[in-house]
Amino acid sequence: MTKEERDGTPTGAELEETGLVSQGDVFETPELPSGEDDSLRIQMDELQQELDRAKELYLRKLADFDNYRKRQEREMAEYRKLANANLVRDLLQVVDNLERAAATASAADESLRIGVELVLRQFKDTLARHGVTEVDPDGKPFDPSLHEAIQKVDSGDVTENTVVQVLQKGYVLGERLLRPALVVVAVPVPRVVLPGPFEE
């Protein structure tokens, strides 16, 4: 028994029977008649085109799925924010009451005022960690998308509608308005120019 037979390696005679010709370590298939070669090449081209279409479809579906997954993540994050909005809106009344209590505490109740201010600060820090920010527009131009005018006063000191008093602070959650600030707005008074003694 030869070494090739023990290893299972095809012998030269077996290769000649199968039509494969050994040239060093490279095997070449025998040439086919030209008609068969053309039909095989056409089939290979068709299969390659089908493979390319399948690959393109797969990449499209993969991109669509990735976009869908990202959109779902964004929607879930937005949903969680909005689900908290009603709870936060209700808690804002507690913040208002704590601010009133801290503002009206007398000098005799100094320790009580300090305690209320500590609780209020902790409350506001917790809201800030969850994306809630305060809208305190005192002295700023009136913005109807963030402020609600309760009263207006005429003023010669302003050139545009300006908030002169905040009755209740507003709050936003991310970019969503939870509650508008209730404000008093100063409206500029048009100046009347009186004619001078030499003007007609």
Q: Which residues pair with 185 in a beta bridge?
A: 152, 163
Note whether 72 and 108 are same-domain residues.
yes
The answer to whether position 17 is within a domain reads: no
Q: Which residues pair with 170 in a beta bridge?
A: 135
The answer to whether position 14 is within a domain reads: no
CA distance 177 to 154: 28
Give 133's contacts (C-beta < 8 A, 6+ positions apart): 171, 172
The answer to whether position 153 is within a domain reads: yes
Radius of gyration, CA atoms only, the chain = 41
Domain stop point among 86, 107, 130 = 130
pLDDT in tens, the chain (200 residues): 555 555 555 555 555 555 544 455 555 555 655 567 788 888 999 999 999 999 999 999 999 999 999 999 988 887 777 777 888 888 999 999 998 888 887 766 788 888 889 999 999 999 999 889 998 888 888 988 899 999 888 877 778 888 888 889 999 988 888 899 999 998 888 766 666 665 55
CA distance 193 to 187: 19
Alpha carbon 49 to chain centroid distance?
Answer: 39
CA distance 192 to 28: 104
Q: Which domain holds residue 94?
A: 29-130
The closest of 181, 190, 188 to 152, measured between CA atoms, is 188
Note whether 157 and 139 are same-domain residues.
yes
Note whether 90 and 177 are same-domain residues.
no
The closest of 175, 139, 178 to 158, measured between CA atoms, is 139
Note whether 146 and 119 are same-domain residues.
no
Q: What's the DSSP call for residue 106?
A: -
Kindly write down the DSSP assignment for every residue of 43-69, as one continuous string: HHHHHHHHHHHHHHHHHHHHHHHHHHH
Q: What's the DSSP call for residue 199?
A: -
Q: Which residues pair with 155 in a beta bridge?
A: 188
Note whether 35 and 116 are same-domain residues.
yes
Note whether 38 and 58 are same-domain residues.
yes
